[in-house]
Structure 1
């Protein structure tokens, strides 16, 4: 009986939405395709393809079968898949009255319903403005030195004196420590270590079928999410006391910055839940995307000697102008790492950390001669324009020169951080993390891959063995 009731609960929204049609739906057909198995739909097929790194082929097969738009069921909801430059523009620029932010039910429940990816209209603008005020370049300049310290301390603890390392787990540790230190003011210790374990459990179920049964990934992620939110509540209370006692500054970290934002009447700009949900979102974005990007840059440098030589030359030029011994990077140093960031952009083009995303149609939309019904989920995939030969000639070739003149790239075709008014507010934070880390890696070490059996997605791309490699210390030329 419980199983039948569960099936009914998941089928009910689909049945209701199928019945809701306006005058537009009478003259415009639904997209081709099918919803597949009740509740499950095509979710398991997509997740399976991601884990064996055939997700792009899975999507391409749909396109060959159905064309540029098709219907399916993902994570318990009726969905329309669209792709291409026009699709990306529709997703990233449509007015909030037409398309709303909405992630899968699993992401919504794990992060929290008041996170930026779920908000629209005035709420989205208010929360986004609060996050951008901390994450904009002018604000982040003062944190370069702190990032510099975190990277050097990490290398001393986990790289120096070693002959072999696994890159991805170490990069995840590094980016998590940066987030804890810079964004939360949570220094190294037992509390941070416990938070890391919870965090790793939480992100495992981000893309999962939202059936909350014992021993499922979704259930484990929800439990870990609850523990993290409780920890963040305690941190908020502690930071509030410190602000009230003037022992902390609103500029000290992201939590104090958000707590210190007040309306004219003295009330906080963001509620406690909004702060917690969006700090969770920033944790995930700053941890996963940056660690994946840095890992795949390191992988690329091991495979392409010419790119490696150019990156090394750029960083040696910066290092040789520093005083011997210990030194720290500055904001001005980062501005000189132009070639390195082009390498990062090309890495993001070929291996975007975010496979795709979801939106929700708030009204019936006519697109490509078909109807996207009100209430349905809209699914878009990042790599479909990144690997389009008409946009990026020879897309399988790694070529950082593509980004020497970014104005030549058609809008809404390079979207690792989204686009338009919905571009990721943490873009600059990721750039600084990446450049500082790569600088110290290439100037202090040389490396060779021990094994490279490709990568899978779960949902972020990850080398199948964590990218093991041999390392040697090096001296500046």
Structure 2
């Protein structure tokens, strides 16, 4: 009898503590006009409900149900923080142009990637963002087209040619990792990308986990993978720093780490070696995951859209007809891939790699008559507009030609918007276009499991990795 009584006492104390927290909260914010909705149980709130929606590929419906119930502004608790959910074009404009909202991330992500562009704020964020924009500006990306071409050709020859069956997601994940590692780490990337590919996947899966280091949990595995990756990048960065000391002012910043070390020596930013490593790691994590998802779902869509595949192939064949087989693609070639990029844009609309983003209010903010208290999180579900029938006609249809028409501002948000546009969008465009050029010109494929579904883990992930039956294309 003692154990049931003890359990009942503990539950009573827990309920009392929760009620006390709720009382203090509502008393403190009694003067605020908070948005509709409920915070729910402290710390937990609607977290498990949202994570379950991600795992069952029902996240878009989860958002729409909430918007239908409370409107485009509502409050809840997510991942341990009181949060205001905002959705719609007006909300997107507000979020991406308001200086009182700083990009923030979950506690898990901060622990996993450290002091990076994903977690910094204020002057430090401006320094890092400015450096990233300088490194990834079109003039710099133009110089990388030949390197990307080489990476793609080598990858296709090694992982596609001669194969009957290819599991797309893990295969293109290795390609995307190789491309971004080459840009971030330079020639030292070759060994790095092969030895740590699995660790990057493990780290990526831990981003939306609870930051409690329980053995064998996602977060614990992610932290172990993060430590391995950080150690490897630190070794590379230290060697580059030593090389710069010997090279002097004649050194060229052809990779991200060298570029950041040179800027540091010039006093452009005040980041430490550890900060540079963290930013290199976060850049690799973010870039290779989103690119691999986009390539995977383009392949998935093209398998069932013969007319669209024929148009993409015709465009790529015309570009190749003006080149020798051994010639690498150029910046101008990529600029001609207009229809192929529309297919990529439509893929990003229907299956956005990033479902939304978290921001933190640095001061009390008012939006549409509601207050967002200082310190609260703002969850921007910007991709909700992608499936809005009032913005995109018949949104469930896959139609690249919809991007031949004007799309209203802040309605299509795969790369963010306004002054907070993703600085890597041009790099991503080149990477995707070069990869699709060689894949559609050399192969045809069939989906092996047409019933295969996908979930967010946290990026869109086919349950089987999208295995396809591969055939060499019969050239006309």
TM-score normalised by structure 1 residue count? 0.91
Q: Which residue of 1 aligns with 2:166?
A: 165
Q: Determine whether 1:35 maps to 2:33.
A: no
Aligned to 2:72: 68
Q: How many residues align?
A: 465
Structure 1 distance, partners of 2:138, 2:404, is: 21
CA displacement, residues 383-411 of structure 1 (integer Å, 9 cap, x when unaligned): 21111111111111222122224xx2111
Shift of 1:84: 0.5
Cα pair 2:363 2:373 within 8 Å, conserved: yes
- Is residue 40–residue 209 contact of structure 1 (8 Å, CA) maintained in 2? no
1:396 corresponds to:
396
| Alpha-carbon distance in structure 2 between the residues aligned to 1:232 and 1:63 | 43
Residue 462, structure 1, aligned to residue 461, structure 2:
yes
In 2 relative to 1, CA 9–94 (structure 1 residues): closer, same or farther, beyond 3 Å? Answer: farther
Q: Report matched runs for 1:80-91 at 5 Å.
A: 80-91=84-95
Residue pair 2:127, 2:268 contacting (<8 A) in 1 also: no
Quote the residue 2:184 is aligned against.
183
- TM-superposed CA distance for 1:119, in Å, is 2.6
Shift of 1:234: 1.1
Residues 1:308 and 1:371: Cα distance change in structure 2 (over 3 Å): same
2:104 to 102, 108, 126: 102
Query: Which residue is equivalent to 1:442?
Result: 440
Contact 1:35 1:78 in 2 (8 A): yes
Alignment partner, residue 368 of structure 1: 368
The alpha-carbon deviation at position 273 of structure 1 amounts to 2.8
Hey, what's the Cα distance between the residues in 1 that align with 2:327 and 2:14? 60
Determine the C-alpha separation between the residues in 2 that align with 1:16 and 1:207: 28
- C-alpha separation between the residues in 1 aligned to 2:327 and 2:383? 39
Deviates more, 1:296-305 or 1:57-66: 57-66
Matching residue within 406, 416, 419 for 2:417? 419
CA offset at residue 10 of structure 1?
11
| 1:298 partner SS | helix
- Indicate the residue corresponding to 1:57 in structure 2: 61
- Tell me whether 1:144 sits opposite 2:145 in the alignment: yes
* Distance in 2, Cα, partners of 1:386 & 1:110: 30
Once the two structures are superposed, residues 334-376 of structure 1 have per-residue CA deviations (whole angstroms, 9 ceiling, x without a partner) of 1110111111111111110001110011222222332212111
- Residue 101 of structure 1 deviates from its aligned partner by 1.5
Distance 1:285 1:74, change over 3 A: same
Please give the alpha-carbon distance, in whole angstroms, between the structure 1 residues aligned to 2:24 and 2:474: 66
Q: How does 1:115-154 map to 2 (within 5 A)?
A: 115-154=116-155
Return closer, same or farther for 1:183/1:403 CA change in 2, 3 Å cut-off: same
Distance in 1, matches of 2:16 and 2:260, equals 42
Note the C-alpha offset of 1:213: 1.8
Alpha carbons of structure 1 residues 146 and 396: separation in structure 2 relative to 1, 3 Å: same
Alignment deviations for residues 102-159 of structure 1 (CA, whole Å, 9 cap, x no partner): 11111111111x2223233322221111111111110011111111111111111111
Q: Which runs of 5+ in 1 are unaligned?
A: none
Work out whether residues 21 and 42 of structure 2, in 8 Å CA contact, stay in contact via their aligned partners in 1.
no
- The answer to whether the 8 A contact 1:211-1:218 is kept is yes
- CA-based RMSD: 2.6
Q: TM (normalized to structure 2)? A: 0.91
Gaps of 5+ in 2: 1-9
CA separation of 1:151 and 1:369: change in aligned 2, threshold 3 A: same
Farther off after superposition, 221-230 or 299-308: 221-230
The structure-2 alpha-carbon separation of the partners of 1:14 and 1:415, relative to structure 1 and needing over 3 Å to count, comes to: farther
Report the structure, 1 or 2, having the larger helix content: 2
Q: Which residue in 2 is equivalent to 1:48? A: 52
Q: CA deviation at 1:36?
A: 2.5
The Cα shift of 1:17 comes to 6.3
Partner secondary structure for residue 247 of structure 2: coil
| Cα separation, partners in 2 of 1:235 and 1:18, compared to 1, 3 Å | farther
- Structure-2 change in CA distance of 1:173 and 1:8 (3 Å): farther
Q: Which moved more, 1:185-194 or 1:121-130?
A: 185-194
SS in 1 for 2:120: coil
Cα distance, 1:129–1:234 mapped onto 2, change above 3 Å: same
Equivalent residue for 2:3? none
| Map of 2:113 onto structure 1 | 111
**Aligned equivalents of 2:143, 2:73: Cα separation in 1:** 46
Could you say what secondary structure the match of 1:37 adopts?
coil
1:189/1:342 CA distance change after superposition, 3 Å: closer
Q: Do 1:17 and 1:375's aligned partners in 2 also have CA atoms closer than 8 Å?
A: no
Query: How far apart are 1:475 and its partner, in Å?
Result: 4.7
